[in-house]
Amino acid sequence: MRARLGGELSGVGYTQSRENGEVFVRASLLARMNASSTWDFVVIGGGASGLGCALDAAARGYSILLVEARDFAAGTSSRSSKLIHGGVRYLAQGRLALVREALVERGRLLRNAAGLVHPLRFVVPTQRWSERAWMGLGLGLYDLLAGADGLGRCRLMSAADVRTAMPTLRAERALGGVAYWDAQFDDAALAVALARTAILHGALVLNHCALESFALDGGRIGGLTVRERESGRTYRLGARAVINATGVWSDNVMRMLRPDAPQQLRPSQGVHIVIDADFLSGADAVLLPHTDDGRVVFLIPWQGRVLVGTTDTPRDDLPEEPEPMAGEIDFLLETVGRYLRRAPTRADVRSVFVGLRPLLGGGAVAATGSLSREHRVDVSEHGLVSVLGGKWTTYRSMAEHAVDVAEEVAGFAHRPSVTDRLRLDSGGLWRPDMHGEAALGAEDGVCASPFVPSAEEVRHAVRAGLALGVEDVLARRSRCLFLDAEAARRAAPGVAAVMARQRGWSQARTDAERSAFEALAACYRARSATVATSPPSG
């Protein structure tokens, strides 16, 4: 694959060198965008659904441009619970079709993104025999819905079984349990793999390139203007169809064409906290089925830490960096503290991250927990194709649906999707041999940390991972910001220095990148101590 990759990527923004392997050349990408007068499809948004659309359309043979205002997966798509799953809680709501679709897509991802998605066992502690039996029946149905894509049968566990698997759980909270299987992934890494695979199929994908306006021709979209972040230059582009895949910001994009467009989404925020691995010994995850808000809470081993989440709080505004609301972090700490022998405190929180869910449901909704993770594809009177709702697990089927609709809008004859069996390329991710080098080394002024990328990892993120800034590297090409915000803050000067040498930054640009990331990392760490007082109104 490596030899073929270099040849195929040449001419679409990459060059090949003996010393550096694949080299990402931003100027080549921008020149290619400028040279094309009209694209078959332009995709707005570089999260899960947008990248999925770009890959699906490119694999069908269309000319594709994707633009993302920030970095790939910088919004909701890098702030998930890191699970590829059917949605156990939807069983109780009777949404069996949604669960079945997600379980089928889970199976496809395990095949097509091997190495990025892997099975993970979950333990559900129970306190009564009747509860264990009921959970066993429900999770047995979950296995049945998975069919041939099942990962292993659920099984009932005795109190001794649970103690063996989860010795850090309180004995009185685990008088038995049920074990079942789902899958785990790194959301930002999968996003980069989608971007690279789309490039392999001829797509042009650009992060840090924002939509400015649409151009109408006879009342229909004929093109758009985008602005490239680094240079500030604007580009006017033609498009036979435009796909709006901007997640929670989709309503805002639709209102660029029609200011009074009705609200289609009801955003909800989910908070996750990250604590040390020793709070949850072993390789299994835990699902806590009874919480004060009627949801479930997960404790998930992830990259040497434990991820705890999530909450479900409606909000009306759409900040790029949402903050936890009053009580959300305490809710998570108190909920897991009831089950763990050693209850975590705010001092144990290494990082806090917050994502906004694009839930379907316009207008006033009292409780977002009742809203579905299903998706819908709408077409406006101007011909804008908007893919709304959904979740990471079903990104591929969402994209297939959106491109099918975009074909109709553009007047193209239907070409079938091939992404259900298309393997994803992970060449932009860390390679196992990279961490033989100390994390950024003493010469870069950074203390070694298992979560801080090495200098070679930083260089690889720029060469092959499409990273343009320090945040791209420390938040999404590595996950240091999410795993240890303080370590990420300390690493910023070293990462900036490595990137400056590679990308030819001025001292002013280097200092700006460093200081901006240090401020962001301080926020991720400080969130465990201070939170917003109430959901702000939009």
Residue 282's pLDDT band, with cuts at 50, 70 and 90, is confident
Mean pLDDT of 92-111: 92
Q: What is the C-alpha to C-alpha distance for residues 522 and 437, in angstroms, rounded to an integer?
A: 27
Copy the structure tokens of residue 69. 């205002």
Q: What is the C-alpha to C-alpha distance for residues 321 and 74, in angstroms, rounded to an integer?
A: 10
User: CB neighbours (10 Å) of residue 274?
Assistant: 24
Closest by Cα among 509, 473, 477, 505 to 491: 473
Helices and strands in the chain: count of H runs, count of E runs: 16, 20
Torsion sign (Cα): 504, 437, 119, 291? negative
Q: What is the C-alpha to C-alpha distance for residues 207 and 210, in angstroms, rounded to an integer?
A: 8
Domain 432-526 has CATH 3.30.390: no
Write down the pLDDT at residue 21: 46
Write down the pLDDT at residue 426: 78
Q: Is 17's pLDDT higher than 90?
A: no
For the chain, the structural domain boundaries read: 2-76+189-265+371-421, 109-184+266-359, 432-526
**pLDDT > 90: percent of the chain:** 77
Instruction: Tell me the pLDDT tens digit for each residue of 48-61.
Output: 999 999 999 999 99
314 pairs with which residues across the strands? Answer: 268
Instruction: Tell me the pLDDT tens digit for each residue of 487-505.
Output: 999 999 999 999 999 999 9
**pLDDT > 70: percent of the chain:** 87
The single-letter code of the amino acid at 439 is A
How far, in Å, are 30, 165, 278 from residue 159 at the CA level? 60, 10, 21
Model pTM score: 0.91
Domain 2-76+189-265+371-421 has CATH 3.40.50.620: no
Q: Is 442's pLDDT higher than 90?
A: no
* Residues 326 and 311: beta-carbon distance below 8 Å: no
Mean pLDDT of 170-187: 95
Q: Which region among 74-83, 322-331, 359-368 has the lowest average model confidence (pLDDT)?
A: 359-368
Mean pLDDT of 219-230: 96
Q: Is 532's pLDDT higher than 60?
A: no
Strands 268-276 and 351-357, sheet pairing: antiparallel
Q: Residue 37: CB partners within 8 Å, gap ≥ 6?
A: 238
Instruction: Tell me the pLDDT tens digit for each residue of 136-172.
Output: 999 999 999 999 999 999 999 999 999 999 999 999 9
Write down the pLDDT at residue 373: 60
Strands 375-379 and 384-389, sheet pairing: antiparallel
Q: What is the C-alpha to C-alpha distance for residues 337 and 229, in angstroms, rounded to an integer?
A: 44
The single-letter code of the amino acid at 128 is R
CATH assignment of 109-184+266-359?
3.30.9.10
Write down the pLDDT at residue 15: 52
Residue 428's pLDDT band, with cuts at 50, 70 and 90, is low
Copy the structure tokens of residue 390. 């959904």
